[in-house]
Structure formats: structure tokens, C-alpha cells
Structure 1
Amino acid sequence: MSLPSIILLIGSLLFIAVWTTKLSSRFNIPALLIFISLGMIAGSDVTGFIRFDDAELAQLFGTIALIVILFEGGLQTVWKDVKQELAPSLSLATFGVFIATTVVAVASHYILGFNWPNSFLLGAIVGSTDAAAIFSVLSGQSVRRKVGSTLEVESGTNDPMAVFLTVLFLEFVTNPQEASLLSGLFSLTWEMMIGLLLGLAIGWIASAVINRIDLSSSSFYPILLMSFGFLSFGIASAFSASGFLAVYVTAIYISNHELVYRQTLVRFTMSMAHLAQIGMFIVLGLLVFPKQLLDPQVILSSIALALILIFVARPLSVWLSLWPFKYSWREKVFISFAGLKGAVPIILATYPLVAGIDNASMIFNIVFFTVLLSTLIQGSLLSILADRLYLNETGSSTIQTVIEFMSIGKPNAEIIELTIPRHHPFIGKMISDIQLPQEFLITAIIRDDQIVTPRGDTVFEGNDQLLLLTPKHRIKTLKRFLFPKTS
């Protein structure tokens, strides 16, 4: 296929993918299912437009896309909303993944006749929830905050556990003499701890750099922000730590600290994450050969494993992992059913392909078919289940700031966003009382998801978000005025 034809095809696929999202919302079909289908249709077995069978390249592309998706998910995470659900989420992301892996491994051993290393390898690949799928589905839901936060943090932090288990059991398959559970546990502890610490450190550095650097054009700030996501993954991987965990933690740290151009930067990463999702699922769809999925053994085995995963492995892992925590049975039922699978299991299924082990193609096809069934069943019925369990919250949706102030060239003024903490000395005072220099202008106040028009008699309250118009060269002066002790 010629270069112009390839570019035309890429543009067509992206255009179709965006427009089919309307079908997704209208018929309650998960968008990622549509994206994967587009890739399968464009692939070798159907139209033959794109002949693609490079598992290693698909793995690389999928990893890059996941970095973008996890980074965007971290930027959307509000720490004060999720910190109370951190312990149960981590329990699900570690203990829960191991339980689900074990249940699927036992089922694979007796249904497929795999040996135990291959069975546990398959269980590890499909044992975790998928951040891309969870973020995508929950973005259109008004589900109870406690439940939504638990699912988001779980999906954002369980990738390290899934990758660790996959690599560990792949080692047992390819090199059983040197594989060791003890060394594996040490490796997991190292990956999690160092990934967390590096994520926090890089997040701190990123916040300081983004807020203090004076770039010639504000259009460079989104690129600078995204660079820290890739740096976080790369540096963590260089230390044999979890790159995915580091990316997620870095983004959470940045999001929950002062950040200039916050809304513009968040919108940029949202667009990048959507593009990454579309591209990733199309590429993974290209890697699949639909004719192989029609193998009766693949179909029957996948259906059996998907049903066991949805109705046995996931509920068991949720109820045992959340047993010490205060969750109602309705919340546990919803969290159990919300264990969506997506890109992560498919990307992990490329590991056996790259390693060239026996049954690698069969494992990949079974994982792919299982993911499709999980997405179709769970993703389609999730909103209905939330209604039936009375877990949807009405009137609690957050109003996002709608001001975009992304200047071109060298701007002489900027709109920045600052949050007034509850202990700030301005709390209880009127705007006219603080003697704000005339060169600075409070353009709006976001309070309790409402926009408050600032006037002289407007009284500051805790956690007010201030949008201030300021000369660019005076941003530091403004910060010193508002936060004299921390500047």
C-alpha cells in the first residue's frame, strides 16, 4: 500500500472511530469494542487493507498509549476524594488480582488442559481490570463517588501487579530452573515501592518546573506536561520499578498541587488520551486474525473463561479483598460487575507471542475473545446495574471551568487558577478587604461546583478556586501576595 493510501486510511479510521462514538452512547455499546472492531475489519482476514502481525510493535504502541491514558486518569483524580478509598483500592489491586488470577488458572488447567505454569500465565494476563476501559465507562456515569473512586484507583494501580504476575509466570514457562517465587515477591515489593517513590519525586519536580519556568509560548506547556509522563515511566523502568505506577502517581501529584493553565493542560491530555485509546484499540484489533477466533475450541473456552471471570473470579476477589472495609452489598455487587477488561490483558497477551512459547497464539486469541465478551457484557449493562442498585447520584456532576486562555506567541497576560485552602487568612474576608493590587483581577470564583461572580463584598470561603488575570511577568508576585509563607 502506498504512503498516501496509508495516510488516507489512517484518517478514515480516526474519522469513523470518532463518529461511531455516537453509536456507543445511543446503543450503550462500549466505545473500545467499536475501535477494536474497526481494527479487525481493516486487518488481514476481513478487508486486507492493513496486513499487520508484529506483536512486538503492537506491544510498544500499546505501552505508549497506556502511559498517556494512565497519566490523564491521574490528572483527573482528586486526592481528597480517593484517599479514604486508597486502602480498599490497593487491596483490590494486589490481593484481588492474585485471587482472580488463581481462579482463572484453575479453570484454565481443567478446561484447556494447560500445564500449571501456562494456566497461571493465562490467569495473570486477564486477572486485572483495565484503566482505559474503567476511565472510559465511568466518565459517562454519575455513580456514587465512593464506588467510582475505588474503581478508578484500583484500575490505575493494578497494572503493576498484572505485569509482575505475567512476567513471573512467563519466566516459569520459559526458564523454570531459575524462576523463584521468593525472588518474585522481592521484585514485586521493589517495583511497587520504588515506582511510588519515583512517581512522587517526579511529580514534585514536574510541578515546580511547570509553575516556575517561563516559556516563550504557553502552547509549549502541554508538551512539557506530557513529557513528565514519559520521563516517569522511563526513569522508573531504568530502576526496574513499575513504570505504570510511577506515571499514575506522578499525574496524581501534579493534579493535586498548584498548576498553571490547569484547564487547558487537562483538556490537552484528555484529547491525547482519547487519541491513544482509539489508536491502541485499532492496532490491537489489527493484530487479531478473526478466522482464528472461529476455532470452536477458542470460542467455547473463551465463553467458559469469560463467564467464570465475570461471575466467579471477580466477585470472589472483590468480596474477599473488601471484607475488612465498610462497603454495602450493593456497592460490592457493582464493583464486582465493573471489573472490565480491555487493552491491558491484550497487551499482556503479546508477551507470550514475543517470547515464542507454545500455545502463544491460542492464549492470545482466548484472551482477546474473553476481553470482547467481558466488555460487551459488563460494559453494556453497567449503567443499568447502577440504576437498579440505586448507586447513581443525581445533581452531583462537577461543572468544569469553561475558560480557555491559551495564547499564541508571547503573551503579556495569563489566566491562572489558584485554590484558597481552608486555613488561609483570607477566609471570611471580602475581596475589598484584601487590597489586591490593581494589576491583578479575579475574573471568577468556582465554589461548590458553581461559578460565583466576584464583587467587592464577595466573601472568600475555604477551597475557593480563583481564576485570576495577571501580567505574565507578575505571576510570582501574585503567588507571594496570596501565599506569603510558601513562596
Structure 2
Amino acid sequence: MEKAVLLNLALVIAVGILAQWLAWLFRLPSIIFLLLAGLLLGPVTGFLDPDQLLGDFLAPLVSASIAVILFEGSLNLRFEEVKTKASVVINLISVGALVTWALTTLLAHYLLNFPWPLALLLGAILIVSGPTVIGPLLNHVRPRKPIGPILRWESILIDPIGAICAVLVFEAITQQEKGWFLLWAFVKTILIGVGFGYLLAQMLIVIMRRYFVPEYLEIAFFLMFLMLGFALSSYFQPETGLLTVTVMGALLANQKIVSIKHVAAFKENLAIPLLANLFILLTARLDLKDFLAFSWREPLFLGAIIFVVRPVAVFFSTMRSGLSLRERLFLGGISPRGIVAAAVSSLFALHLKDYGFPLAHKLVTITFLVIMGTVLINGLLARPWACFLKVCQQEPNGVLFVGAHDWAREMAHAIHEEGIEVLMVDTNWFHVKAAEKEGLPSFYASIFSDCVLEEVEFEGLGKLFAVTGNDEVNTLAVVHFMEIFGRKEVYQLAPSKEISGCLRAAPQVKGRLLFGEEIDYQYLEGLYRRGYRVRKLKLSKYFDYERAYRLFNGQLIPLFLIAENRKQILVYTADHRPRPRPGQYLVLLGNR
């Protein structure tokens, strides 16, 4: 028995991670593959039975995992992202939530023949969206500001609101409570959730600021406070813990006293396997017979949720908001449901059976139908919809140059002439002014300044070239932007050959070495002073790399290739030498 349990747990974890890897490989939202994995392991093959596997631990495990996921999402909320459109977020989680609740309730009652109490509960559950689906979707679609931050804020804040509304309806159904009791329960929920969240956030800030905890225990303390806050809040008022962790995370994310970057990074790594496990476990509990018993009413309900309820909610929430029609249409087309809806519906369905609701099992089935339908439609159509409305960002193929000296500007010109975005950042005023005169986008600042992150638009930029004469600046720039561009797309010049031993940067904190392991700043600078210049050659069947090599008598250094479609830059590095093909542009440093 013990071996079987261990095997099932290992299988859930392994399949969950593989599903997320496949999602990355095919550039689709991970929830699609997670739902398919859960269906295959559970109702299709019968290999996995979560209730038998975890028993009474399933419900608290799901609740605690959701708390971690919401906390991780709220750590990425920045007030400055939506300060000009804060009213839109407020309207979406208030007016939009009420409209969604009302219309979904009506549809559930008149279309699905749910009794009013169950229809109200389903309407409350389907208010939620969630960072687990919005986050990957935004990474895939890359909408322009302010749409992305608005959707991210809405998805995180709406989860505890929807869960709280569902709890209040559930209490009204099961305890026959109404009127002042429900009003007091709502007020108590807000007071406990916001109060605990604020108190715990302030305590953590004081503990970190006064160095009461050693650095190796900081993440453990954050996790301890997170779980204590969630458990205590939920003890005093059910589901209030979700509001507590959301408030706590948002306050920590926007304070300037202590750094929480390392905490946010750890929580993200923790949230990824938790999300995978949750979706697989909850989906595996479904019964295929419930889906096979569907009539025309259930698909029509799903279509109404996507194409009627969400657009109407967005319409009323964005009136006089200053958003363009295109932006409002895009917001109206994005409405995926996530893990909170799945977890809350599964939890309530178990209790409602005990209270004699014959359609309680259908609550979970309809919720998962909406989750699968909205995720599938949004995952496949959101990017084309955004591009059709012209609210999506350009493909991130451009280059952010750290350093704007002469030969760096020549490289930037070779890229910019092909319609690919570039940006040059330098602390040398003369270099920046020279770039401006040459028509190259530039920014006068330290690459480590907050101004770069707050004021620079990174739309269209997907690579970092650190090409200054200071090896430490290059290395730190790579580390600084690794989170933005990814480890694969941050490049720097090789450290100077004159630096060796303990003065040389450790390999694990360096980016990919530009152009070759032996090509450092001094080497390139020396070649440039001897007459070498950056050249761009169009390759063809009759003029290949060998012809170019002979044209320059072998005195050249290949820098990068620009693809035929002008949408990709293939960089020559110490660990990768791309093969030139006809139709590409070869950019090189040569003496001719």
C-alpha cells in the first residue's frame, strides 16, 4: 500500500512537470495539458483516485496550495503598473463581479434548471479567474500596457472575492442564514482578511529590517507567516485566508524597505509544481459519465459565459475609463477560469450532498466544463484576437545594448535597419548623444537604475548584449536582466584575458559569451582602431559564408545572423555557432 501511494504521488509530480514543459514547447497555456493529464490518469484509465490516495488530507492540501499560489501571484503586483487605470481594476472586481454573478445565476437557473440556491452558488464560484491561467496566457499573448497589468491585478484580486461570495452563499444555503447575519459575515471577512494581511506584512518587514532572522531562514519565515495567516484567518472565518495572503503579498511587493526578490523567486518555483499537482488531482476526481450526459444546454451555457457574460461585465466596468475600443474588446474576450473555481466547487459539492442537493455533483462538472472551455478557447484564440485588434506587443526579437560606443552602435544599426527593435543604454553622455544623432533609440542611465525598469518600454526587446569595457558591469547586467529575458537570451563579452584567478567572474553568474571565448572588449577595440568595421552581407546560393570569408581574406569575426523573415537574430557565441543559410544577413566585423 505504501509503495502504491508513493508511486502515485511520484507519477502526479512527474506528469505535472512534463505537462508544463510540453506547454512551453508548444507555446500553449499549461492548464490545457494539465487538464488532459488529469483526465487520462483519472476518469479515462482509472489509474489515479485522489480521494483514496489522500483521503481527508485532500481538501486542506488543496486550500493550502491555493494560498501559496495566490501569495506568489500577489508578490508580483505593482501599484505603479495600474496607477493610471486603477479605477478599471476596481470596477472589474466590483461592478464586473456583480454583473458576472447575476448573469451566470440567471443562466444556471433558466438554462441548466438549477434551483436558485445552487444557481447563486455557481454564479459566485464562476466570478473567479486566477493567476494560474492568466499569467501563462499573458506570457503567451503579450498584450500592450495597460491591458496586461489590468488583467493580472483582476485575476489575483478576484479570486478571494469570488471565494468569499461563494462561502457566504453556501452558509446561507446550509445554515438557512440571511439578512444581518450575512452582512456581518461579509464585514467580518473583510476585517479579518485585510487586518491579518496588513499585520503579518508589517511584522515581516520589521523582522527583515532589524535582521532578527538569518538570511538562510528568511524564506522559511515567509512561508511560516503565510501558512499561519491563512490558517488563522480561515479558522475565524472560512475562506478568509485567501484574502489575507493576497493582501499580505501585495503590501510586501509594494514596500521599499526590504528586498523580497529572493522570496518571490522561491515562491514561483514552489507554485509551479503545486499548480500542476492541484489540477491533475482535481481533474482526476471527475466522472466521465457526467460529461457524456450533457445535452445542448451545457455547451450553450459555456458559450454564453464566454461571449455574453464577460463582454457585458467588461462593458459596464470600463465605461468612461479612457481605454480604447480595441482594448475593451480584448478585455471582453479574456475570461479563463482556474484552480480556485475547481477547488471551491469540489469542496462545496461534497458538503452539499450531505444537505440533500441532488444536483450537487453537477456543480463540479459544470465548473470544470467552464474551466476547460474557457482555457481552451482563450489559449488558442487570445493571441490571434490580440493581433487582430492590434493590442499585442511585437515579437521580442530586439536587442538591449549595455554600452553605446562606436562599434556597438554599428552593430545596433545593422539590426535596426532591418526593422528590429534596439535600445542602447549607457552612462556616457557623449555615447548616448551620438546614438541619438544616428537615429538609434537610446537611454542615458545606469543599466542598474530603477528608471530603466520603470521608464523604458521593453516591447519588442528579447535579448541583452552587455558590451561595455567593464567586465563587472557586463556580468551584473546579465544577472540583473536574466529574470526579464531568460538565461538563454542574455549575452556578454568574454572577461578580459588580463583578469584571472579570483578576479575572474564565476561561470554560473555569467551570460552567454558573445562571438567567442577569446573575444573580449580590448580585442574588439583593438581591431576597430586598426580599421575593422561592422558589415552586413546578404547571403545567397551563390554568395555563401565561404565566399564572404574569402572576400575578407579570412580577416573577419562573425557576430550574428538575421533570419530571412527579419524576426530572429542568431548570435555567434562560445557555445553555439549557427550555420548560415541563403536568404539570411550575415553581420560581421571585418577588415576590407
Change (3 A) 1:96 1:255: same
Aligned to 1:264: 262
Equivalent of residue 293 in structure 1, options 291, 308, 319: 291
Paired residues of 1:142 and 1:397 also in contact (CA < 8 A): no
Cα distance in 1 for residues equivalent to 2:117 and 2:48 = 34
Change (3 A) 1:40 1:25: same
Change (3 A) 1:228 1:398: farther
Q: Does 1:251 align with 2:249?
A: yes
Residue 393 (structure 1) shift = 3.0
Cα distance in 2 for residues equivalent to 1:239 and 1:131 = 26
Q: Does 1:42 align with 2:41?
A: yes
Q: What letter is aligned with 1:234?
A: A
Residue 397 (structure 1) shift = 11
Q: Does 1:126 align with 2:126?
A: yes
Aligned to 2:588: none
Equivalent of residue 212 in structure 1, options 186, 197, 210: 210
Cα distance in 2 for residues equivalent to 1:363 and 1:398 = 47
Paired residues of 1:67 and 1:244 also in contact (CA < 8 A): yes
Residue 277 (structure 1) shift = 0.6
Paired residues of 2:141 and 2:382 also in contact (CA < 8 A): no
Q: What letter is aligned with 2:162?
A: A
Root-mean-square deviation (Å): 3.2
Aligned to 2:306: 310
Equivalent of residue 273 in structure 1, options 259, 267, 271: 271
Paired residues of 1:128 and 1:345 also in contact (CA < 8 A): yes
Moved more, 63-72 or 324-333: 324-333
Matches within 5 A, 1:13-92: 13-43=12-42, 45-53=43-51, 57-92=57-92
Q: Deviations over 1:310-350 (max 9, x none)?
A: 11111111111221422112111111222210111111212
Q: Deviations over 1:391-446 (max 9, x none)?
A: 2234889999xxxxxxxxxxxxxxxxxxxxxxxxxxxxxxxxxxxxxxxxxx9834
Moved more, 77-86 or 330-339: 77-86
| Structure number with bigger Rg | 2
Q: What letter is aligned with 1:101?
A: W
Greater RCO (Cα-Cα under 8 Å, separation 6 or more): 1
Q: What letter is aligned with 2:303?
A: L
Change (3 A) 1:189 1:316: farther
Paired residues of 1:444 and 1:453 also in contact (CA < 8 A): no
Q: What letter is aligned with 1:266?
A: A
Q: Deviations over 1:250-305 (max 9, x none)?
A: 112222234766443222111111011111111111221223221134xx333121
Q: Does 1:445 align with 2:448?
A: yes
Cα distance in 2 for residues equivalent to 1:108 and 1:197 = 35
Change (3 A) 1:312 1:56: farther
Paired residues of 1:199 and 1:249 also in contact (CA < 8 A): yes
Paired residues of 2:85 and 2:150 also in contact (CA < 8 A): yes
Aligned to 1:326: 322
Change (3 A) 1:173 1:238: closer
Aligned to 1:282: 280
Moved more, 137-146 or 369-378: 137-146
Aligned to 1:94: 94
Cα distance in 2 for residues equivalent to 1:397 and 1:268 = 28
Q: What letter is aligned with 1:348?
A: V
Aligned to 2:227: 230
Cα distance in 2 for residues equivalent to 1:398 and 1:145 = 18
Paired residues of 2:201 and 2:252 also in contact (CA < 8 A): yes
Paired residues of 1:330 and 1:389 also in contact (CA < 8 A): yes
Paired residues, number: 411
Change (3 A) 1:124 1:146: same
Residue 209 (structure 1) shift = 1.1
Cα distance in 1 for residues equivalent to 2:286 and 2:123 = 20
For structure 2, which runs of at least 5 residues remain unmatched after alignment? 401-445, 454-463, 474-479, 482-592
Q: What letter is aligned with 1:289?
A: D
Paired residues of 2:28 and 2:140 also in contact (CA < 8 A): no
Q: Secondary structure at the match of 1:296?
A: coil
Paired residues of 2:142 and 2:393 also in contact (CA < 8 A): yes
TM-score, normalization by structure 1: 0.76
Cα distance in 2 for residues equivalent to 1:57 and 1:13 = 16
Q: Deviations over 1:220-253 (max 9, x none)?
A: 2222222222233234334538322221121122
Q: Sequence identity, in percent?
A: 23
For structure 1, which runs of at least 5 residues remain unmatched after alignment? 401-442, 459-464, 467-487
Paired residues of 2:17 and 2:273 also in contact (CA < 8 A): no
Aligned to 1:354: 351
Residue 137 (structure 1) shift = 1.9
Cα distance in 2 for residues equivalent to 1:141 and 1:210 = 37
Aligned to 2:388: 388
Cα distance in 2 for residues equivalent to 1:164 and 1:263 = 30
